Structure 1
Amino acid sequence: MLKFLRDVLASTLGVILALVLAGALSGGLLLVFLVALGFSDEEETIVGNRTVLVWDLSTPIRDTQPLGELGSWFTTDSGDLSLRQAITTIEAAAEDDRIVSLLIDGRQGDPGIGFAMLRELRPALETFQASGKKIVAYGVDWNESSYYLGAIADSVVINPMGAMEINGFSVDQPFLTGALDRFGIGVQVLRVGEYKSAVEPFTETEFSPENREQLTTLLGDLWGDFLTVVGSDRNKTPQELQTIAATQGILLPEAALNAGLVDEIAHFDEVAAQLRELTEEAGEPKRYFRQISISNYHNDVSLATTRSYRRNVAILYAEGEIVYGQGEIEQIGSDRLIRQLRELRQDDRIKAIVLRVNSPGGSATASELILRELQLTRAEKPIIVSMGDVAASGGYWIAMGGDRIFAETNTITGSIGVFGLLINLEEITNNNGITWDNVKTAPFADIDTIARPRSEAEIAKMQQFVDQIYTLFLEKVAEGRDLTPAQVAELAQGRVWSGGDAQARGLVDEIGGLAAAIAYAAERAELGDDWGVEEYQNEPSFEELLLRTLAVQTDSPLTAQWLQLQTQLRQLQNWNDPRQVYALWPVMQIR
């Protein structure tokens, strides 16, 4: 009953918000969906001599990708790629004599991933440059996300009608407290950790001082990494870039050129003419430059290199919110992940496992069940953890099941804390003519009720559960990271850390991405040179593919905020912990 009413609450609020925004969106999402299904450009799918590899930055890149026949319905000519596929494809192009250059095409947007995953892509671009081949990056409206990749290019070009956004990072958080109060939905909170902010959207109207403090520090770390990386690419000091952000923010093409952020102002046809000179062969008629998209090139090289190995490193993806039970496609269901771990443990071909964690956390019970299965598997085979954009709270809880933890400097991790959120519908139901009554045989028999607020005695009882689980969390961290209780207490309280800060404080072992974790796993398992990689993921549903298509194809700020509200409401539906205790960091979009 509690889950049903929680789902109704989330759905009802979602409908209200949808009606508010429906006029503004004006059918645009449906149009995008129809266009995505119905139209695609003709694209070369076979690599010819003297070909330019084209990476459209709007190509969706994520840890896992939609697979199978259903997934192909939602794929335009850009084609989804997993992070590993994108990396290995660019590395293959570096060694392929048929590929003469790489065009990073930023006209349509960016991959829509966090800066940690963007950072993992950069070494592949460096490998491409080291082969002696040039990279050209072209964009109309460069933002920090696309420029974080594009700045590495040998030539960065901006359209004469374009602009460049170098104005710092910010984060928005929708707060639902006013809506809950207006509709008579009661909320009571249990939590441990002064920085544990996941409940704030349901209880506050603005960031708490503690949350503002940790977010300011986190954004400062991520922004500092951006300034350092991009500054190195463009021969600028971090302070020079900070001055540009503080005094200009949005730069028109001439200003971007004068600031040394781009190398050229040109229309795309002018860049295409330059690339045509690279691809033309003697006696060949003039034509558009010979090109192949990164997704089609991936298909070409993957078919040519497919083989099976007797010894393998398995990549097991743990992506999404952690839920108790089976879970859905964009969730980490404890039952499903445990079953996969058991299968890998019993598979003689699998010699080591890389657990790729990209999760803000979720159910504390589910996190502990997964950790237990990881520990059982780790006793038989090495487990190396690779953190993606976020591995916080419950995501960090399960990461402790690895022999070694890898993270990028701008990974978001930590958030060692727990909370409970208790919802009651007494006021909203009474206001609509519905009353409740109850008969029970013991004082706490209806402690899970949503018909009324919990009593002081019930709150005290449930706070004991939260305190107990927080203590368990601290003990797990102390044991798993070889830290003293005092050290863990200082790092905990629900505070998030950047990957760099986490390594300095002993929460992470190595700075590095998925490729580094795979290489370390093979070394730990003593596999030598003859080994392969097998990936384990799930088939998405029709609904998820539709939502992914809309999210990827729609770039307006209004739609982005609408999708963030949807995410916030979806969390309510995901909260299914048997004890109503959660280890979760709130999902926020840093931009």
Structure 2
Amino acid sequence: MKFLRNLLASILGFFISIFILFFLFVGIASLIGKEDAVVVKPNSVLELDLTTSIKDYAPKESNPLGEVLGVENPSLSLEAILNAIDNAQLDEKIKGISIQTNFINAGIAQTQAIRKKLIDFKESGKFIYAYNDNYTQKNYYLSSVADSLFLNPVGQIDFKGLTSEVLYYKDFEDKYGVKMEVIRHGKYKSAVEPYLDNKMSEANREQISSFLNSIWSEYTKEISTARNISVAELNTIADNSDGRNATLALNNKLIDASIYEDQYLDKLDNATNSKSKTISIADYIKSGKGRISSTAKDKIAVIYAQGQIIYGEGNQEIIGQGIINKAIKKAVKDKNVKAIVLRVNSPGGSALASELIWRELELAKKEKTLVVSMGNLAASGGYYIACNADIIVAEPTTITGSIGVFGAIPNAYELSKKIGINAEQVATNNSANYSLFEPMDKKFYDVTKEGVEQIYTTFVNRVAKGRNMTFEKVDAIAQGRVWTGKEALENGLVDELGSLDDAINAAAQLAELKSYKIRNYPNYEVDYKNMFKFSPFMSVNKDDILKEALGDETFKLFKQINEFKNLEGIQTRLPYIMEIK
């Protein structure tokens, strides 16, 4: 008995110690938070540094010790950035904005939304200046909104037009005997084209050229207005790389002066009529300026669906029907929520998960107004979950459409022959089975093709019903074809061009709301297991290690291959992995 009593006392003491230690760390975190409280000082300049990863939705780190121990993965919420710029417009302590960022860690549509908000900021009469040692093309696009734009005397502007590169693996497959067996519907559904050929099809070249030109026209139109340079002149500058040094950039009116950083800081002092103080956008958000306060009782729920779509629960990086459908149900159940805005930023993914989310939205639409806002991507499965909204709002540079279906299955038959492996199967029935080490037989192909065709037909019917179009009309603009938001407006796939704010305003109008506040979803559950990972060495991010070892470009390729490796079931997904430069 004494032994058991001592054992129980030891166990109890262990758990008490753990809880005391936990609350001690929370207390320390709280004290540090109070000491480091951000204060906005008079005559401040808001510094727009966008090198941190920008997500549509970036809820606060679930581990309360993450920031203290330096093990959190920092990111900025697009919503918080836009709210902060709005607040800065009315903040007497903020005299202007300085855009000074090495690069912009955001998509094109996100960048366009920030740029529009900066145009609104200028209406306050406050200044916007921009400075950099070198400008990437996206950085220059954003910075061109400034009243005055400056470049280091030995810097350059990478202004050369847009390009997109697609890698083809057919020759590699033939050489090494490992290939992807592909079943698809849609002549533009080129997600799997790199596995079938060693060069780009004319259909794929047509769609890439179309949306690149659409995005570039947005770039040049907006830069033309801001810098008072004609679109024709901008294209000549791009053709000749006439931003490649500061002298050419100045001569071609891309900048207002070539100066050093210390001279730029002097200009900020002159603009504020005092020794200016800068506050980063991240700190300004921490000060509480990343929110728009409201005392309204009515709410509009903004549900963020960001990342590829998988069948399962999902998380902050991946859309799963589990977490998204829970969010939809919570918004519907809340009597104060009068409208739902679904913010989609996804290349698509699992057809099954897309259908399950579509169904939950269809049920929600019977109870609440439903509006969709499209971010950088709302393609394939991303469009599937958007198509039944009352109104669809896209940015002009959003990549959307891609209404098509494919299945891709790895096959190593030729490789197995080369290295002397023979696979033999025994089965009870003559069903449509598949082996990695045998050629795909016709029976399995036919069954899978039937599934692809069934899902394509369902997909097109969903769009036809949601968009009030005939099956034939949707089919004509589907076939896996990718469109920009601007093109999608012309062919009826979206209703309006605009930002998340515009989508929220549209929802408010449909729900007849005069005043409201925003409620963001999903609620991500706290992982209590990770809350006790006090050591930074226990929370090492494997992606960071791989990136360090492989380099940025190789790491991107690794991530792309890894994503395709993890695809399960028939996919409604963007036609290819795309990086626009």
- Cα distance in structure 2, aligned partners of 1:163 and 1:398: 42
Match of 2:495 in 1: 509
The question of whether the paired residues in 2 share the 8 Å contact of 1:313 and 1:518 is answered with: yes
1:466 and 2:466 are equivalent in the alignment: no
How big is the shift at 1:340? 2.1
How big is the shift at 1:57? 3.0
Give the aligned residue type for 2:412. Answer: L
Give the aligned residue type for 2:557. Answer: L
How big is the shift at 1:184? 2.5
The alignment partner of 1:202 has SS state of helix
Give the aligned residue type for 1:198. Answer: A
Aligned residues: 536
Judged with a 3 Å threshold, the aligned counterparts in structure 2 of structure 1 residues 79 and 53 are, in CA distance, closer, same or farther, namely: farther
The question of whether the paired residues in 2 share the 8 Å contact of 1:407 and 1:510 is answered with: yes
The alignment partner of 1:385 has SS state of strand
Judged with a 3 Å threshold, the aligned counterparts in structure 2 of structure 1 residues 569 and 221 are, in CA distance, closer, same or farther, namely: same
- Cα distance in structure 2, aligned partners of 1:308 and 1:331: 33
Judged with a 3 Å threshold, the aligned counterparts in structure 2 of structure 1 residues 548 and 315 are, in CA distance, closer, same or farther, namely: farther
The alignment partner of 1:199 has SS state of helix
Within the candidate set 558, 561, 566, 1:569 is matched to: 561
- Identity among equivalent pairs (%): 36
Give the aligned residue type for 2:308. Answer: E
Q: How does 1:171-320 map to 2 (within 5 A)?
A: 171-279=164-272, 289-302=276-289, 310-320=297-307
Match of 2:93 in 1: 98
- Cα distance in structure 1, aligned partners of 2:291 and 2:86: 15
Give the aligned residue type for 1:377. Answer: A
The question of whether the paired residues in 1 share the 8 Å contact of 2:83 and 2:291 is answered with: no
Match of 1:376 in 2: 363
Match of 1:395 in 2: 382
Match of 1:331 in 2: 318
Within the candidate set 317, 324, 343, 2:330 is matched to: 343
Give 5+ residue unaligned stretches, structure 1. 1-41, 282-286
Give the aligned residue type for 1:214. Answer: Q
- Cα distance in structure 1, aligned partners of 2:135 and 2:71: 23
Match of 2:77 in 1: 82
- Cα distance in structure 2, aligned partners of 1:85 and 1:177: 44
How big is the shift at 1:213? 1.2
1:109 and 2:103 are equivalent in the alignment: yes
How big is the shift at 1:312? 1.4
- Cα distance in structure 1, aligned partners of 2:526 and 2:415: 36
Judged with a 3 Å threshold, the aligned counterparts in structure 2 of structure 1 residues 187 and 154 are, in CA distance, closer, same or farther, namely: same
The alignment partner of 1:102 has SS state of strand
The question of whether the paired residues in 2 share the 8 Å contact of 1:66 and 1:545 is answered with: no
Q: How does 1:526-545 map to 2 (within 5 A)?
A: 526-536=512-522, 538=524
The question of whether the paired residues in 1 share the 8 Å contact of 2:386 and 2:392 is answered with: yes
- Cα distance in structure 1, aligned partners of 2:428 and 2:334: 50
Within the candidate set 420, 428, 450, 2:407 is matched to: 420
How big is the shift at 1:149? 0.9
How big is the shift at 1:459? 1.2
Judged with a 3 Å threshold, the aligned counterparts in structure 2 of structure 1 residues 571 and 412 are, in CA distance, closer, same or farther, namely: same
How big is the shift at 1:539? 7.0
How big is the shift at 1:457? 2.6
Q: How does 1:144-163 map to 2 (within 5 A)?
A: 144-163=137-156
How big is the shift at 1:343? 2.2
Judged with a 3 Å threshold, the aligned counterparts in structure 2 of structure 1 residues 481 and 46 are, in CA distance, closer, same or farther, namely: same
The question of whether the paired residues in 2 share the 8 Å contact of 1:59 and 1:78 is answered with: no
- Cα distance in structure 2, aligned partners of 1:273 and 1:431: 69
The question of whether the paired residues in 1 share the 8 Å contact of 2:294 and 2:516 is answered with: no
How big is the shift at 1:248? 2.6
1:360 and 2:354 are equivalent in the alignment: no
1:589 and 2:575 are equivalent in the alignment: no
Tell me the alpha carbon deviations over residues 402-443 of structure 1, each in whole angstroms, 9 at most, x when there is no partner. 111000111111111111112223343454454322122332
Tell me the alpha carbon deviations over residues 478-507 of structure 1, each in whole angstroms, 9 at most, x when there is no partner. 111111222112101111111111001100
Q: Alignment RMSD, CA only? A: 2.9
The question of whether the paired residues in 2 share the 8 Å contact of 1:44 and 1:291 is answered with: no
- Cα distance in structure 2, aligned partners of 1:419 and 1:153: 45
The question of whether the paired residues in 1 share the 8 Å contact of 2:324 and 2:357 is answered with: yes
The question of whether the paired residues in 2 share the 8 Å contact of 1:43 and 1:77 is answered with: no
Q: How does 1:429-508 map to 2 (within 5 A)?
A: 429-446=416-433, 448-508=434-494
Tell me the alpha carbon deviations over residues 527-566 of structure 1, each in whole angstroms, 9 at most, x when there is no partner. 3224333343547999999477689x99x9x944323312
Judged with a 3 Å threshold, the aligned counterparts in structure 2 of structure 1 residues 258 and 71 are, in CA distance, closer, same or farther, namely: farther
Give the aligned residue type for 1:243. Answer: T
The alignment partner of 1:373 has SS state of helix
Match of 2:533 in 1: none
The alignment partner of 2:153 has SS state of strand
The question of whether the paired residues in 2 share the 8 Å contact of 1:361 and 1:585 is answered with: no
The question of whether the paired residues in 2 share the 8 Å contact of 1:353 and 1:384 is answered with: yes
- Cα distance in structure 1, aligned partners of 2:326 and 2:431: 35
The question of whether the paired residues in 2 share the 8 Å contact of 1:279 and 1:290 is answered with: no
The alignment partner of 1:399 has SS state of coil
Within the candidate set 146, 159, 163, 1:166 is matched to: 159
How big is the shift at 1:262? 0.3
- Cα distance in structure 2, aligned partners of 1:532 and 1:331: 23
The alignment partner of 2:98 has SS state of strand
How big is the shift at 1:167? 0.4
How big is the shift at 1:588? 0.8
Judged with a 3 Å threshold, the aligned counterparts in structure 2 of structure 1 residues 519 and 252 are, in CA distance, closer, same or farther, namely: same
State the TM-score, normalizing by the size of structure 2.
Answer: 0.86
Match of 1:125 in 2: 118
Tell me the alpha carbon deviations over residues 298-318 of structure 1, each in whole angstroms, 9 at most, x when there is no partner. 121348965665321111111
Judged with a 3 Å threshold, the aligned counterparts in structure 2 of structure 1 residues 198 and 78 are, in CA distance, closer, same or farther, namely: closer
Tell me the alpha carbon deviations over residues 297-340 of structure 1, each in whole angstroms, 9 at most, x when there is no partner. 11213489656653211111111111112235421112222222
Give the aligned residue type for 2:564. Answer: L
Judged with a 3 Å threshold, the aligned counterparts in structure 2 of structure 1 residues 559 and 220 are, in CA distance, closer, same or farther, namely: farther
The question of whether the paired residues in 2 share the 8 Å contact of 1:192 and 1:467 is answered with: yes
Larger radius of gyration: 2
The question of whether the paired residues in 2 share the 8 Å contact of 1:354 and 1:386 is answered with: yes
- Cα distance in structure 2, aligned partners of 1:433 and 1:70: 54
- Cα distance in structure 2, aligned partners of 1:73 and 1:462: 51
Tell me the alpha carbon deviations over residues 3-59 of structure 1, each in whole angstroms, 9 at most, x when there is no partner. xxxxxxxxxxxxxxxxxxxxxxxxxxxxxxxxxxxxxxx999311111111111323
Give the aligned residue type for 1:342. Answer: K
Match of 2:19 in 1: none
The question of whether the paired residues in 1 share the 8 Å contact of 2:303 and 2:343 is answered with: yes
Tell me the alpha carbon deviations over residues 345-364 of structure 1, each in whole angstroms, 9 at most, x when there is no partner. 22223221111111111111
- Cα distance in structure 2, aligned partners of 1:256 and 1:310: 52
Give the aligned residue type for 1:80. Answer: S
- Cα distance in structure 1, aligned partners of 2:204 and 2:437: 31
- Cα distance in structure 1, aligned partners of 2:240 and 2:160: 9
Give the aligned residue type for 1:87. Answer: L
Give the aligned residue type for 1:515. Answer: D
Give the aligned residue type for 2:149. Answer: V
State the TM-score, normalizing by the size of structure 1.
Answer: 0.84
